[in-house]
Homo-oligomer: A and B are copies of this chain.
């Protein structure tokens, strides 16, 4: 058995995979409508929102594109709070669709400085929206989203959040923290194969939607809302039915465990990962105060051939970890621990690392 410890896709429980074998049904029929309504209601509970939540047949990146094109117009000024690869991606999408992006970048491995966010918003009153990453998968850092939201709302800005690798694993009370649009993806904490993005929209987001002129068709939330609220709930376009069957099962499991318990489990597992890494004589890439509870980033020490280490782990120990992305390639590696994960899974990864690190050139000092 392979131990897939990357920050998504994540391993799926047997019952979730079993749900994928169900035969197709009519996506415009009564039974599917009931399933869609049930899944949507459960997602709202886990998003902690009374707003709308939509399922999109796409990866998480598609969800980010949907969030942008539904709320912005070409020429709109946007503040991008970026702490890594996925923060940059979010800003690039906005730029591609004609937004004027003011980048506010922080050193990779650190969280966003909320005072700097406040200063940037003060300096440019015409900014309409703030794009922020809750959990930056590429660096293993979780932003203080509640404080970023306070800053954004102090200046009355729309807040659009990439919570792809946090929601359902790290606490994110969407309504309490006043996040207007929040995006996540099925293959992260939700324990489901990739293929679905889930996005919430509140009243402020709908107000923005009404005047937003970025071109949209596939991603249009007005269409999604129209179809979802029909007598037989539907999606506008044929959805990933099997993945919705799977999500229905995983959401049941999540509600049974309870969100506070899930959040606490992720915190415990992440602590075990950080403690384990330090016990090996390695050091964490992200400052521990902002270290993510879904992915742990580790500095590759001098002498370590990271690519060789990942290869031996995979081939001889069936432990699959992730390397660094872009400028972090070869400089860090990452352990994913979100979704269907316990301390035992971390123990397996740390034990394998203990054997493989010296084989890949690491000498503990």
List A residues at the B interface (Cβ < 8 Å): 2, 4, 6, 8-12, 17-18, 20-27, 29, 57-62, 65, 92-93, 96-98, 185, 187, 193-195, 214-218, 236-243, 314, 320, 322
Question: Contact between A187 and B24 (Cβ–Cβ < 8 Å)?
Answer: yes
What's the minimum C-beta distance from A169 to chain B, rounded to whole angstroms? Answer: 16
Measured CB to CB, the nearest residue on chain B to A193 is B242
CB distance A215 to B96 under 8 Å?
Answer: yes
Q: Flag if A20 contacts B20 (CB, 8 Å).
A: yes
Q: Which 8 A-B pairs have the closest CB atoms?
A: A195-B240, A20-B20, A59-B237, A9-B24, A61-B237, A193-B242, A17-B21, A97-B215
B17 in contact with A217 (CB, 8 Å):
no
Q: Is the CB of B62 within 8 A of A237?
A: yes
A353 to chain B, nearest CB (A): 17
Q: List 21 A-B contacts (CB under 8 A).
A: A9-B25, A9-B241, A11-B24, A12-B24, A18-B21, A25-B320, A26-B322, A59-B218, A59-B240, A61-B218, A61-B236, A61-B238, A62-B62, A65-B218, A96-B216, A193-B240, A194-B242, A195-B195, A195-B243, A215-B215, A240-B243
Contacts of A29 in B (CB 8 A): 314, 320
Contacts of A214 in B (CB 8 A): 215
CB distance from A336 to the nearest CB of B (A): 10
CB of A251 to closest CB in B, whole Å? 17
A242, B24: Cβ atoms closer than 8 Å: no
CB pair A238–B8 under 8 Å, yes or no, is yes
Partner of A240 from the list B17, B96, B240 (CB cut-off 8 Å) is B240
Chain B CB count within 10 A is highest, among A25, A60, A237, for A237
